[in-house]
Amino acid sequence: MSSDKSSPRSQKKRKTKVSTKAKARKRPAKKQLRKTKARFLKRTTVIPLLLISLVLFLGYLFYLDQRITERFEGRIWQLPAHVYARPLELYVGKYISKEQIMFELDYLNYQKVEDLPQRPAQYRNWKDVFEIKTRDFIFWDGEEDSHTIRVTIKDNKVTELINLYTTQGVDLVRFDAGYLTGIFPSHSQDRVLLKLDDVPDIFIKMLLLIEDRRFFTHWGVDPLSIGRALLVNITSGRTVQGGSTLTQQLVKNLFLTQDKTIVRKINEAFMSLLLELHYDKMLILETYINEIYLGQDGRRAIHGFGLASEFYFGKALKQLSIDEMAVLVGIVKGASYYNPKRNPDHARERRDIVLTTMQQVELITQRQKEKLSSKAVMTVKHASSGLYPAFIDMVKLQLQQDYQADDLQSEGLRVFTTLDPYIQFNTEQAIVNTLPWLSKNEELQAAAVVVSPSNGDVLAVVGGRKPSYKGFNRALNAERQIGSLIKPVIYLAALQDPSRYTLSSILDDSEFSYQAPGQPDWQPQNYDKEYHGEVTLYEALLKSHNIPAVRTGIDIGLDNVIDTLAALGSKKSVSALPSITLGAIDMSPVEVATVYQSFSANGFHSPLRSVHAVLDKDRQPLERYSLEVDNKVKPEAIALVNSAMIDVTKYGTAKRLSDSLSIQVAGKTGTSDDLRDSWFAGFSGDVMAVVWTGYDDNRPTTLTGSSGAMKIWKNLFKEVAYKSYRVPEAPGLVRSWVSAKDGLLTGKDCENAVELLFIEGSQPQQKGDCAAGSSGNWFLDLFN
């Protein structure tokens, strides 16, 4: 019997099939739901990420944009001050040796030739004659053209100075001033700024042809130039052109490092686009011309075609020939490898590539190209830049009275100083070569200042035993006791009253004790620990006796001594203590030089100056430091002291000088307590110098003024002093023979006779005994 109902098992199977089909229908729906959720999550994540990235990118572009505009709308460059030595001047009658002429020409890097000099900075020499062609140069009083001259030197003096082409006499010839150094900011970049109008049109075409042909059509980055450069380089088999635009090169130099990384190249591209967006093409081109790095001169980096033109060829860019311009354009590819001074063959090879490229685009003809390519690469020599840190310190000190420090490092000033390269060199050599003979201890230091007597010009400064070391400047900053250097000041103060004091006045050199309320007794002693009884003022100064100087200083008044020190130019604040009569005054060599300049100029004081003139970056005068002369002491009294200081170098504490020097000089030794400081200050007719030696920690040196500092001074003056010092004749001065023993009038053939200078009316009236038949050699008895 059949039934319509299925068995339970059959029903279960059917339910299972239905369930499987339902699940199958549900799976696509779930999968679609998951995909929809994934798409939604992706959209909700990616879009914010994109927005955040966009904001960050725009922020970074804004940052780059700010860097560009801040630099371009402010001061793009900091231009260092250029510091120059004094220009050598020649005229008939000038004292100068053949050795100095040779030194000066070598210092200025003049080239010696066999024939008549044809180019600037050339010379030839035979015997006493020099034929020289000078360089053009712009001074504080205008531009001076090149001169071709003949100079004859005899007996350390110019005897003939003529123009070689006209054979006419020349009144004055001024050589170019040697470059000393720059007062740089934190970097050492240097440049001479050019306006685009100062750049020849042919040079601009040449530069763009080699470095960026599509400069005026691209937007900072040029894919076509990159492809073209690649093709040209492959065809040539070497790197002839670069793919970077001028704008990219400028951005790299102004804002980025030289690292060859992808990040730097990306930054370079974006910044180039931004730069072109903001600024005119002509401004970008002008900035590039002034920024590009083109070589090195010691620590000074040569930037811009303006300075490179002067550095390599000695003339302005607009004065260059086409082949010389091609050399400069060639340097852009590699400032070291294509440096025409160091690698003239490489520079010539690169120049010829530039000329060939110019010929290919018909900027020059084939004939011009062949003619220009046949020329050798000729660069000019320049004065060697040197390190003179002690002198430059004085320059900065003077300039800072009128200029801010930032101006000195950024405004491109041209500073003409008073430094004499020949005297500076010999001052350094005198210290470097003499110190080892004074002591084997390398801690012994020295400092020196050399000054022109007539005008106070600082000719040389050395601040230590290592002259080029930029450390403690002892010449300017080491204040030490001056010892017996004070004695000429004391006796000058006394001799200004001729009714009381003359060179023949008798002074008391006996035991002395100074008493002051509430103070222990002060008992000064002579250097030799002995007393000499009655001595003349003249003898007391020659032998540098202490006690007569103390007695005289106290007698005329300590305030009078201090006032006389100030009248001689010192600005030192000094307390009126008896010890100042023995030089217990701390002064630097520069401060001592200020005082002794007045002695060397016969009482006429000129403030020391290290700067003569300052020009702005356009070479227009800003400041001239004119000569200042003041006289606050009696010239007659100065003449008396100077006449005695002449004899100090012949018969006194500095008598060894007379055996070493061929000219007459005047000077004074100085030694502080316990031999801690050794000084010598002295002058010829053309040079005055102060030398100090000692230890920085102020320990004893075992050196007196004559055994220490004077030896350095002597070695210096053997090289740089030409003119004897002579006391000038004056109506109010008379000479009389007196006895060096008792100061009374005597005959010149008498024993102990010495001829002294007196202010008229002050000479002794009383006559002394004259021993008949004496040899008259009073010095033999008095000093030996």
Cite the active site residues. 211, 484
How many Cα atoms are found within 13 Å in the side-chain-facing hemisphere of 545?
Answer: 21
Q: Identify the CA nearest to 187 among candidates 320, 79, 342.
A: 79
176 near 165, Cβ under 8 Å? no
**Which element (helix H / strand E) includes 754?**
strand 753-759
> What is the residue-wise DSSP string for 45-87?
HHHHHHHHHHHHHHHHHHHHHHHHHHHHSS---PBPEEEEPPP
| Cross-strand bridge partners of residue 534 | 508
Euclidean distance between CA atoms 639 and 646, whole angstroms? 10
H-helix or E-strand spanning residue 227: helix 223-236
Ramachandran area for residue 249 (φ above 0: left; ψ -120 to 50: alpha; else beta): alpha
Whether the CB-CB separation of 88 and 175 falls below 8 Å is answered with yes
Contact of 547 with 523, CB cutoff 8 Å: no
Dist CA 166 CA 446 (whole Å): 50
Give helix 635-651 / helix 487-495 axis angle, nearest 10°: 140
- CB atoms under 10 Å from CB of 68, counted, come to 20
The DSSP code sequence of 416-457 is EE---HHHHHHHHHHHHHHHHHH-S-TT-EEEEEEE-TTT-B
Cα distance between residue 544 and residue 549, in whole Å = 8
Phi-psi domain of 675 (left: phi exceeds 0; alpha: psi -120 through 50; beta: other): left
Within a 13 Å sphere around the CA of 635, how many CA atoms are in the beta-carbon half?
13
d(CA 717, CA 723): 10
Ramachandran region of residue 220, left (φ > 0), alpha (ψ -120 to 50) or beta? left
> For tokens 């001076």, what's the residue?
144
Residue 7, helix vs strand vs coil:
coil
Q: Are 317 and 203 in contact (CB under 8 A)?
A: yes
CB of 694 closer than 8 Å to CB of 480: yes
- Nearest Cα neighbor of 109 from 480, 385, 293 is 385
What residues contact 251, with CB distance under 8 A and at least 6 apart?
Answer: 268, 271, 272, 275
